[in-house]
Amino acid sequence: AQSVTQPDIHITVSEGASLELRCNYSYGATPYLFWYVQSPGQGLQLLLKYFSGDTLVQGIKGFEAEFKRSQSSFNLRKPSVHWSDAAEYFCAVGFQKLVFGTGTRLLVSP
């Protein structure tokens, strides 16, 4: 069965510190991989996506993610977090339809 695991429900990071959000998936083949961000009361905004090729992908707002086939992972990273990054982050996988993880809520402390 297709599934996405985001093991961290909440993460608190100090402003200016680095960030890594974990995502592991289970799928029949290497699917398309996505990270979305959702601010309170808002819809989902695409941060970045991986289809093929270079396993390190760059996204908007200074985010990047690395696909590791051997670990079935697609972790999201940012070198320096800003207070405005506080939001819920969702990893998703699939082709025509997406399967989402349960999300990781990022809190940014001053």
Residues lying near other proteins in the complex (CB under 8 A): 4, 32, 36, 41-46, 49, 51, 90, 92, 94-103
Considering beta carbons, is residue 80 or 102 the nearer one to other proteins? 102
Rounded (10°) CA dihedral 13, 84, 23, 63: -110
Smallest separation (angstroms) from other proteins to the CB of 97: 5
Smallest separation (angstroms) from other proteins to the CB of 27: 13
Contact 101, 33 (CB under 8 A): no
Smallest separation (angstroms) from other proteins to the CB of 59: 13
What is the phi/psi pair of residue 84, to 5°?
-75, -10
Smallest separation (angstroms) from other proteins to the CB of 9: 9
Q: Strand 104-109 vs strand 10-14: parallel, antiparallel, or unpaired?
A: parallel
Which residues, listed in sequence order, are joined to residue 67 by a DSSP beta bridge? 74
Considering beta carbons, is residue 89 or 108 the nearer one to other proteins? 89
Considering beta carbons, is residue 62 or 94 the nearer one to other proteins? 94
Considering beta carbons, is residue 44 or 86 the nearer one to other proteins? 44
What is the phi/psi pair of residue 61, to 5°?
60, 25
